[in-house]
Amino acid sequence: MRVKTKNNFWGYLFASPWIVGFLVFGLYPIIVSFYYSLCQYDVLRVPQYIGFRNYEELLFEDDYFYTTIWNTLFYTFVRTPLVIIGSLILAVIVSKAVTGVKFFRTVYFIPSIISGVILSVLWMWLLNPEYGLINTTLQFFGIQGPLWLIDPNWSKPSIILMSIWSLGGGRMLVFLAAIQNVPKQFYEAVEIDGGGWWAKFKNVTVPFISPVLFLWFILEMIFSLQVFVEAYIMTKGGPLNSTLFYNLYLYNKAFDDFDMGYASALAWLLFIISGVITFIQFKVSKKWVFYSDGVEK
Amino acid sequence: MTRQRRNNHFIFILMTVIAVFFILPFLWIVLTSVKPEAEVFSNNFLPSTIQLDNYIKLFNKIPFLQYLQNSVFITGVAVIGIVLSSSIVGYAFSCIEWTGRNTLFYVVIATMMLPIQVTMIPIFVIFKEFGWLNTFKPLTVPMFLGGGAFNIFLMRQFFMSIPKSLLDAARIDGCSEFKIYWKIVLPLAKPALATVAIMTFMFVWNDFLGPLIYLSDKAKGTLALGLGQLAGQQQPEWAILMAASVLMMLPVIILFFFFQKYFIKGFTMSGIKE
């Protein structure tokens, strides 16, 4: 009994930094954030309770809201599969024991450790329609490149292109680690049956790493819904609001207009949207995710 | 065997082609940063002469050294705070048996799912009430409070691998929990500490949103913030921007070449749970 009390004392003492942090910067803000979303609040005066007025205004009166939803969902649903497939291809390529493979892994990985601000600045310059490296190269091959970030039809694809280039190598490492854990005898079994690399990839690699792929589908979607820095630096939401993403709008409402109640309502709706998308993914995952220990999670 | 060889040649060429796509943009930043002004707006890849004017102009344009100092301070304090507090909390969740431990650990994991937008505004209001806006406190003090779910998780995983008998033997010898944590567990956990330190360095050094929200006073800015402001001008001066980018990413790249192992560990750990 004495040992147990002593353990409890030390346990809570050692955990106390997190407990304090969680109460002050986790639990309290969640509750207050919901309260703010029901208020008119400009930080200077005390919050005025207005019921669900912010939500009503968002859903029924705010045209920007639907613009940001469209932009953000477009970004999320186009980017997520591309990043995952791209980094999976990279991972498969660098999983082969070829001379210099470590060097190539390093090269692909480096953009992942660079600040999003630097990458945004770099890509603004790469995508410069007249003098950027990309259009200059395209011109060399006789192709007239698009206006990229200046063209409302190309602005979202431009940012997606950039994020695949920046993130691919980091995700590659994750998938590479998963691929290296696949038991070798399964590949041998496919070889005996006369299967080639595609059969190996489709019937062994993908099923075995599907839990990791699934986890990253979820994470990548959540990250995509939160896109901010790229748009803030590169386009400020333009041209014609084509890159006005959800979080950029939220940031503008909160820290430019100081409309904290409205911004809190936006935050809660985003939370709900993320939750719904994650829930759907869990439902769909039963069809394709395979757990080698036979346990469904 | 020859087929295998041919395949390997093919893969090598493929990897080289892909590598060009990753290396060229970096090369281009560096080349742009040393180009004479007149050549920046031209389609020549290589500069005619190499000159460092853009770097000098950068120092005149923004208080670069001040930003550097601010970034170093914030990052340094954050690394210390997160390594210390995530290891202490990780110790509680792995090396001590106490009531409520497992339940609270689920809460730790659950906080990973929470989008920062939901907590961002109330936390901003808290710091405003404290009078901490335009100080480094919002970016440093919270780092001592737990160190983030992912880091706690990483520490706990590592500490679990330390044999329990070792800790119990120390307890029988009359060691206090603090002494066991400090003298036995931490020295054994150097790889985990290094991974957390490296990942924290990278995140805090690169962070843009935090400084953007809390540091509106220009003299208090960080490098990331300064670069963002430079890029936001009506007519961005590309050569100067590229020079700033080179200087800002240099520390991360240098660190990467010395501690590659820990970067890779940090990135792969984030993807494989259990």
pLDDT digits (tens, 9 = 90+) for A4-21: 888 899 999 999 999 999
Confidence category of residue B123, pLDDT binned at 50, 70, 90:
very high
Q: For B185-209, what is the mean pLDDT? A: 94
The predicted structure's pLDDT at residue B236: 85
- In one-letter notation, the amino acid at residue A25 is F
Angstroms from A200 CA to nearest CA on chain B? 15
Torsion of CA B206, A120, A63, A81, to 10 degrees: -90
| Nearest residue in B to A5, CA atom | B98
CB-CB neighbors (< 8 A) of B43 in chain A: 131, 136, 139
Contact state of B88 with A17 under an 8 Å Cβ cutoff: yes
Which helix (H) or strand (E) segment holds residue A216: the answer is helix A206-225
Question: Which residues sit opposite A40 in a β-bridge?
Answer: A48
Contact state of A8 with B11 under an 8 Å Cβ cutoff: no
Q: For A147-174, what is the mean pLDDT? A: 94
Choice among A240-249, B31-40, B176-185 with the minimum mean pLDDT: B31-40
The predicted structure's pLDDT at residue B273: 42
Secondary structure, 3-state, B226-254: HHHHHHCCCCCCHHHHHHHHHHHHHHHHH
Choice among A37-51, A271-285, B35-49, B104-118 with the minimum mean pLDDT: B35-49
pLDDT tens digits for range A60-86: 999 999 999 999 999 999 999 999 999
Q: Which of A11, A93, A133 sits opposite B28 (nearest CB)?
A: A133
The predicted structure's pLDDT at residue B127: 96
- Distance CA(A289)–CA(A281), nearest Å, equals 11
The predicted structure's pLDDT at residue B139: 96
Q: Residue A42 class from Cβ within 10 Å (0-12 exposed, 13-18 middle, 19+ buried)?
A: middle
Cβ–Cβ < 8 Å for A229, A117: yes
Torsion of CA A28, A29, A31, A37, to 10 degrees: 160
Enter the ipTM. 0.91
Contact state of A14 with B89 under an 8 Å Cβ cutoff: yes
Q: Residue B102 class from Cβ within 10 Å (0-12 exposed, 13-18 middle, 19+ buried)?
A: exposed
**pLDDT at position A292 over 80:** no
User: Average model confidence (pLDDT) for chain B?
Assistant: 91
Which of B121, B139, B229 to mutate: most A Cβ within 10 Å?
B121
pLDDT tens digits for range A193-234: 888 888 999 999 999 999 899 989 998 998 999 999 999 999
**pLDDT at position A295 over 50:** no
Contact state of B98 with A124 under an 8 Å Cβ cutoff: no
What percentage of chain B exceeds 90 in pLDDT?
Answer: 72
The predicted structure's pLDDT at residue B1: 55
Query: What secondary structure does DSSP assign to B69-125, as a single string?
Result: HHHHHHHHHHHHHHHHHHHHHHHHTTTS--TTHHHHHHHHHHHTTS-HHHHHHHHHH
pLDDT tens digits for range B227-265: 999 998 888 889 999 999 999 999 999 999 999 999 998
Angstroms from A18 CA to nearest CA on chain B? 4
| Nearest residue in A to B15, CA atom | A104
Give the pTM. 0.92
